[in-house]
A and B are shown apart, each in its own frame.
Chain A
Amino acid sequence: MNEHSRVLERDKLDIAEPLSDVELRLPAVLPRESYPIETLTPDARQQTRAVGQRVTRPDGRLHGLGQTKYIDDLSFPGMLYARIKRAGIASARIKRIDTSAAEAMPGVMAVLTGKEIPVNSFGPSFQDQPVLVDDLVFHAGDGVAAVAAVTEQIANEALEKIVVEYEPLPAVLDPVAAMREDSPKVHAPNSNIYATKTIRKGDVEKGLAESDHIFEDRFSTQMIEHVSLEPHAAIADWDANGRLTIWATIGRITLARADIARTLKLPMSRIRIIGTIVGGNFGGKNEISQEPALALLSKKTGRPVKGVFTRGEEFTSTTTRHPIIMDYKTGVTNKGRILARQIRLVLDGGAYCSWSETTLGKACILAPGPYKIDNVLSEAFVVYTNKTMTGAMRGFGAPQVCFAYESQMDDIAKKLGIDPLEIRLLNAFDEGSPSPTGQVLHSVVIKESLRKAADRFDWEPRS
């Protein structure tokens, strides 16, 4: 011990030997022995080379014991429950909304419609999504009115009392038909094609002309929901000082605060968003949904308001994975080298943009696959339809295009009599390969991953 540390003795905190983690924890309700869960912290959490350790999660014990508090586990004095009435019609003009019967119900504290929302639009790229539709319905899962009541049951019953008169409009459901000039417009007067992307490298026509074989296929994928265990949920509390606190299952609180400030015309300093522990996101909770409506219901009633989506709303009223129609034309040599690839992607964008622009970009850039191809033309279009909006979902378009480029790769291998592993090793990126956008790639280990998986699988070559 040197001089400096001796000087420090008197300043030392009296915590020479802190209690262990196990001693600090609250005991569970039942005797610990009765839980089939390992309660001791593995040593990995104590290691001082922290990176690379198989460290257990600090929230794991609470999850295992069912003690994690999700939004539906939270409640506040006087809290109300909100439900949203859904349109149930894919495309229509709203002629009349009558909420008087619902408002007259005992236990109903407030009803909200789209016209009451200060700025009734949001979205990460384009602000094309209303919080509650006020004039036009863009898809069947749209919310037309929200109710706050003392119980969830009363709120549900109140939805039945809300009368909405619609004038049905033609619905656009097929993305390819929606691209035609004469198609009805989802967001008139704008074109249904709301974003495009092109990646051009080399000369694809020349590359195809020089190829020994041309493979041409159309692949398509379906609309998929994230199906997180925990649905979208939030509690809004507008306090007497005009400051808004929202507990929400949102994965992007910085963006959410900006969107809520915009829709409610509030300065950001008056908004606090607390991201609770989320029971699954997978891209489905990357933007606001019901939060501005809950905030306004809280403002109207002076009480905290909770909203939790049903499983049905999770499907029909939140974002989903883009269905993509994928046309692939690929030219290869007799030896299996890909010389050129021409790709056209049509993404079904649903009723609103959401994260479609990002999905479009990633799908377009990734579509040629992890292969050295000198001549690439990749074009992508995302199209409005009167269906549930598509947005961010684990992979942003990559699982769809991977299905296409890897299916075609196996067809090429089979036709040319090359083992599927071999043809991939022949074409795969190396360290320093240029990507389709001309980016020089670094830390490229695609071939290592191919060999490692093949070793583990006991892949025997056959052609």
Chain B
Amino acid sequence: MKRRGRGIACMWYPIGFTVSANPSAATVKMNEDGTATVLTGTVETGQGSLTVLGQIAAEALGIATDDVHVVSADTDTTPMDTGAIASRTTYVTGNAIFLAAEAAKAILFEAAAPMLDVKVSQLEAKDRKIQVKNYPQRNVSIGEVALRAQAVLGTPAIGSASWNPPTVALDPETGQGKPFATYVYATQIAEVDVDDETGEVEVLRIAAAHDCGTAINPMLVEGQVEGGISMGVGMALQEEMLFDANGRHINPNLTNYIMPTSLDMPEITVDIVQGFDPTGPFGAKGVGEPTAVPTSAAILNAIHDAVGVRVYSLPATSEKVLTAIKAKRAAEQKQIPA
């Protein structure tokens, strides 16, 4: 008989890592038509990071995502970056790009101030224009300013910057200190059906609520959460590398190493928790890794809720769940007085 259960799990996760400094550097080059090129040493690994980094540059420059082209991952041309690791790209590389864009923008403002007869401090970049704060009708297009800065004033609007998260090394004895600049938080709740005759677990739905500070791109955050949950389902129920007594891996193929397919995926709802981190670019933190953190715990708690057994070792395969159910029944029967 199928028994339904629900399980909750929450988590915290740091952004960036702590072994030593983990800086990023970036260059932002304004083109003379008001578009921009960003140089970054990070790598697009499929998560959409270059899209998010382009959005950060665009926001800082007051232009649109389509106006920005991001060049990445070439040690001859792009500045150093600690890399696509530790959920740090949006936060650390994003901050470097933000600062580089601000530096390029400062050159634009220097060029624009005499054009608009105001001080630099009175300017803002918005809607592809440089305009006077509170007097948006006094404006000049960014392209015009970039062209003037480069072709008339001889000061092309190029900015470079680097950023490293502020941390305090841990005391080697007590481990006290500030290992990470910031953390994100999340909760996932899973609903499962457990077949108490076979031990088979079906994950029906997962409600995920994740904090990432400001969501630079909510659609990509949702994508990360859904992908992380698929890894969490595999960790909870299926995936395991097995070794023989001589230390040889016995299931190095996708026939015998079972991982979730689309048919194993539950219905997922993603909520982005309102948050703002003043140390991140436009309040953003990160989201990549945390999405895979609470899933297996939530599923295992749902199994416990459904059939009353606690599985202490992952993955909770049907065999393990069924063995635990049988052991529980045997223990309950023994307790019946004669």
Contacts and interface: CB of A to CB of B under 8 A. Distances in A.
B241 A445 contact: no
A105 interface: no
A281 B45 contact: yes
Nearest to B304: A410
Contact of B65 (A47, A278, A441, A456): A47
A432 interface: no
B170 A225 contact: no
A434 to B, nearest CB: 10
B251 to A, nearest CB: 8
Most chain B beta-carbon contacts within 10 A, residue among A46, A52, A271: A52
Contact of B152 (A8, A220, A370): A8
Given A59-B44, A366-B12, A398 B290 contact: yes
A93 interface: no
Contacts of B259: 227
A120 B210 CA distance: 43
A315 B185 contact: no
A280 interface: yes
B243 A366 contact: no
B262 interface: no
A25 interface: no
Interface in B214-270: 214-220, 228, 231-232, 234-235, 239-241, 243, 245-249, 251-254, 257, 259, 269
Interface in A404-437: 405-407, 410-411, 420-421, 424, 428-429, 435-437
Nearest to A18: B33
A51 B241 contact: no
Nearest to B114: A4
B218 A4 contact: no
B140 to A, nearest CB: 6
A128 to B, nearest CB: 16
A315 B143 CA distance: 51
A41 B151 CA distance: 32
Interface in B266-296: 269, 271, 273-278, 282, 285, 288-290, 292-296
B11 interface: yes
Contacts of B65: 44-47, 50, 53, 55
B186 interface: yes
B55 A50 contact: yes
A437 B292 CA distance: 24
A191 interface: no
A198 interface: yes
From A141, A406, A421, A444, name the one whose CB has the most chain B CB atoms within 10 angstroms: A406
Contact of B10 (A200, A280, A286, A449): A449
B248 A88 contact: yes
Contacts of B234: 224
A40 to B, nearest CB: 13
A457 B315 CA distance: 25
Interface string A265-299: 00010011111111111110110000000000000
A49 B274 contact: no
A398 B289 contact: yes
Given A200-B173, A362-B17, A403-B314, A453 B189 contact: yes
B10 A450 contact: yes
A198 B247 contact: no
A242 B86 CA distance: 34
B177 interface: yes
Nearest to B282: A51
A18 B34 CA distance: 12
Given A15-B33, A394-B292, A410 B313 contact: no
Interface in A206-229: 217-225, 227
Contacts of B235: 221-222, 224, 321, 399
B247 A50 contact: no
Interface string B150-185: 011000000000000000101001111111101101
A406 B293 CA distance: 11
A303 interface: no
Contacts of B56: 50-51
A58 interface: yes
A47 B64 contact: yes
Contacts of B123: none
B187 A358 contact: no
Contacts of B247: 90-91, 139-140, 171, 173, 386-387
B135 to A, nearest CB: 13
Contacts of B312: 217-220, 407
A297 B265 CA distance: 44
A221 B76 CA distance: 42
Interface string A106-121: 0000000000000000
A190 interface: no
Contacts of A252: 43, 81-85
Interface in A26-49: 41, 44-49
Nearest to B57: A50
Contacts of B228: 394
B301 A11 contact: no
B310 interface: yes
Contact of B51 (A58, A429, A449): A58
B240 A275 contact: no
Interface stretch (B66-74, B195-203, B326-334): B66-74
A90 B246 CA distance: 7
Interface string A184-217: 0000000000000111110000000000000001
Contacts of A282: 231
B216 A457 contact: no
A459 B6 CA distance: 9
A171 B43 contact: no
A150 interface: no
Nearest to A12: B147
Nearest to A429: B12
B324 interface: no
B17 A222 contact: no
B1 to A, nearest CB: 21
Contact of B207 (A2, A225, A315, A453): A453
B115 A410 contact: no
Contacts of A420: 7-8, 301
Contacts of A392: 85-86
Interface string A224-236: 1101000000000
Contacts of A51: 55-56, 59, 214, 216, 282
A54 B147 contact: no
B41 A254 contact: yes
Contacts of B245: 173
Interface string B127-153: 110000000000010011001100110
Contact of B148 (A8, A49, A370): A8
Contacts of A55: 51, 55, 65, 217, 219
15 contacts: A4-B115, A4-B116, A55-B65, A199-B175, A224-B235, A252-B81, A253-B74, A275-B73, A394-B231, A394-B288, A395-B13, A420-B301, A443-B277, A446-B12, A450-B187
Top 3 A-B pairs, shortest CB-CB distance: A90-B247, A275-B73, A252-B83
Given A199-B174, A437-B170, A457-B191, 7 more contacts: A140-B249, A366-B11, A396-B86, A405-B297, A443-B276, A453-B209, A456-B189
